[in-house]
Amino acid sequence: MLEHLFGSRTRVKLLRIFFREPSKRFFVRELTRLLDVQINAVRRELLNLTRAGIISALTDESLNSFVEVSDDPHETKRKYYRLNEQSVLHPELQALLLKSHVLGEQSLVTDFLKAGDVQVLLFTGVFTNTKDAPIDILVVGDIEERTVADIISEFEREHGAQIRYTVLVPRDYLERRQLTDRFLYSVLDAPHQMAINSIKPL
């Protein structure tokens, strides 16, 4: 959806990365690995976003003072990029990306419901901006792990995000709850959104 608005899927993926970690500085090759996109395409979109004032470009020498640097393609210093939270476009872009994020969650719910008997689908981590959550998605049900991996991979490609997930069969999930399993309760105790919860007790 957003790629039609912004004219580039790579640009949208970059925006999602910068807004997800607004204080982090990214090197161009790091972004290329995260997006799995050709480096020239990443550089082109970084230049567009920098010229629009949405992100700032910095060199090693300017990291402490956050002084913006030239976009001269012949510049030899290592260049880093970070979100410009002072941009006049920042609030509007943040709102658009949040709405897109919600729609992305809804599409995941639909995909999982079509793929198998999913009895619990829980979103946390990147979906709730909970950085210390152990995972991002918990899936409980009778569903092939390969199917889950395919759904997650497609979401990652579409949204430029890396998703951590766990798949449990219903009996394992219920037994872990009864035993107050440390990992499971670290997920359940973290801020989360329970998209599906139709599991029945043993």
Query: All domains of the chain, ordered by start, with CATH?
Result: 2-87 (1.10.10.10), 94-197 (3.30.460)
pTM value > 0.75:
no
pLDDT values of the chain reduced to their tens digit, one per residue, 202 residues: 455 456 788 898 898 889 888 889 999 999 999 888 899 999 999 999 999 999 999 886 555 544 444 444 444 467 899 999 999 988 888 777 766 776 678 889 999 999 999 999 999 988 887 889 999 999 999 999 999 999 999 888 777 678 999 999 999 999 999 999 999 999 999 999 999 999 987 6
Q: Which 3 state secondary structure label does DSSP give 24?
A: coil
82 vs 69: CA distance, rounded Å: 12
CA dist., res. 6 & res. 11, Å (int): 7
> Do the beta carbons of residue 17 and residue 42 sit within 8 Å?
no
- Residue 23 in tokens: 């204080």
Q: What angle do CA 115, 118, 124 make, to 5 degrees?
A: 105
Other CB atoms within 10 Å distance of the CB of residue 176: 17
